[in-house]
Amino acid sequence: MATSMRNYVQRAFVLALALVVALFPLSASANCLPCQRPEVLPRSLYNVFTAPLGGDLVVAGQPFNFRWINLDGEIINLVLVKGGPDDLKTVGALAEAVPNKGSYTTVVPNSIPAGNDYAIEMQWGAETTYTPFFTILNPSYA
């Protein structure tokens, strides 16, 4: 009984969080990075990313802690993707078959070019979810 109540509360929290994210407007500023790429990729109601968020900066060659609200799946894959919301291309795997603990720290390889159209695809079972678009900076990319 306690487990089903906890699951109900967790799912209600995720639904409320998803509603807030969907309805909260972005600030309108010409210099606002999230405003430059307002598209948000479709998300699952489970494993909702909390970092990176839209417009966040990830520096290639330096550790970054990818974080999410962990609600579904014991084992996950994290895949770097690039492109538009309807035309994502796989760049490469960042983590394969790792425990779903709500965060994972890894280094984006120096071989990845800079760009502001990157996202992380999380895979578990037949399910997927995505981060909003974020920017990869790479001062050493040639």
Q: Which stretches does DSSP call E strand in the chain?
A: 48-51, 57-59, 63-69, 75-84, 87-99, 103-107, 115-124, 127-130, 134-137
Whether residue 4 has pLDDT greater than 90: no
Indicate whether 25 pLDDT > 90: no
Burial class of residue 136 (count of CB atoms within 10 Å of its CB; 0-12, 13-18, 19+) = buried
pLDDT of residue 1 exceeding 90: no
- pLDDT tens digit string along 68-94? 998 788 999 999 999 998 899 999 999
Output the six-digit token pair for 68: 């999410």
> DSSP label at 32?
-
pLDDT of residue 20: 44
pLDDT for residue 37 is more than 50: no
At the topology level of CATH, where does 2-137 sit?
Immunoglobulin-like (2.60.40)
What pTM did the predictor assign?
0.69
Residues linked to residue 25 through DSSP beta bridges, in sequence order: none
If pLDDT is split at 50, 70 and 90, which confidence band does 18 have? very low
Domain ranges of the chain: 2-137
pLDDT of residue 7 exceeding 80: no
Tell the residue number behind the tokens 């997927």, with chain if given: 128
